[in-house]
Every structure is written in C-alpha cells, then in structure tokens.
Amino acid sequence: MGTTLNISAQDLDHALVDELKEQFGNAKVEIRVHDIPGAAGMLNEPDFWALIEQLDWTKPDNDLVVEPIVSALAQMPVANIYQFQDLLSEKLWKLDTRAHAAGFSDDEDDSFSVDDFLYARCGVVANGKEFYQKVLNTPKDMPLDTTFSPLLRIAKKAYERKTDKKMTIAPAFNYETFSNQEGWK
C-alpha cells in the first residue's frame, strides 16, 4: 500500500524534495498532475479533438501527417502535452474491450495480435470524434483494416521538441490491450 501526498506544484522546492527523500528513502515516487476543472490553459476534450482534426492526411509520410499536432503541442505549455497523452490514453482504453476486439481473432488458430488491436484503436481515434463515438457506442463498427500507430508518438515528439529531453510518462489510463479489465469480462 502506498502513501498519497497532495502537494501544490507551487510548494515543490529542494527542501521538500530532500524531506521526501529522508522520509521515504528508496521508495518509488509517482507524480501525477491533476487538472483543475475550468482552469485556464488546461487542454480539454474539445481541444483534444481539435488537435486530432489537424492530422494532415494529404501527406505521404506518417511523420508529416502528425506534424501539425506535434508542432501545435510543442508551442503549448508542457502540461498540455501530458494532458493530450492522458486524453489519448483514455480514448484508447475505452476501446479496449472484448466486443471491439471480436473481429481480430483468426478463427483457424484463435490467434490475436495485441499490437494490431492497439494500432486499430489508434486508427479509430485518428479518424476524429464522430467516428470514435460511433465505434465506441457500436463495437461491431470497429474497423479491421484501419490502423495509425504514429498517434502514440505525438506527445513524446512534441515534448522532446519543446524541452530537448526524453519524455517519461505513465498516462492516466493504461491503453495496452487487455488493460480495461471491465471491458474484457
């Protein structure tokens, strides 16, 4: 069992970090930034979908397709980059259900590619809010031939461009296939 500390980001300083090190020794620490509803500058659901609409499907290369979103996020505060990743993770997690995966098994040997299913869920999100809502509400409409894995790298690229550092993140929702335990019952 872990300990939960609620600390304002404004209160974080070297003295507090040193105190935490002293009190908790070698314990693992997870820092999760919680949104404040209605706070200025927070990336919300409409903002997320507006960014997704910027995918440039006229480009011949996936890096160029996602470039408008990467560029836009890199101009925003770092918190928005994390919020984008959290919203994406939530959408992918919600599609991680047995009903949505029904068409992905090979009837002959009952094999199932967890990666293919994840990339297909990415494809659903990449096709915009209306398509996402349709597939979310009607799992039989889950496309078997539409994938877009580059969606998973957008936040990391934007973060690295903005900070010149590697992004380390544990998104709000684990979107790996089979993570939505309720969806697989």
Does a structural domain hold residue 9?
no
Does a structural domain hold residue 134?
yes
Does a structural domain hold residue 3?
no
Structural domain of 98: 43-184
The per-residue pLDDT for 38 is 46
DSSP per-residue codes, 17-37: HHHHHHHHTT------PPP-T
- Into how many domains does the chain fold? 1
DSSP per-residue codes, 132-155: HHHHHH-GGG--SS---GGGGGHH
Does a structural domain hold residue 11?
no
Does a structural domain hold residue 79?
yes
Distance CA 93, CA 176 (A): 8
Distance CA 147, CA 119 (A): 5
Distance CA 182, CA 94 (A): 10
Does a structural domain hold residue 101?
yes
Does a structural domain hold residue 81?
yes
- pLDDT means per 10 residues, the chain with 185 residues, are 66 72 73 54 91 97 97 94 95 96 69 90 98 97 94 96 89 90 92
The per-residue pLDDT for 109 is 54
Closest CA to 127 of 65, 80, 60: 65
Question: What is the reported pTM?
Answer: 0.80
Does a structural domain hold residue 66?
yes
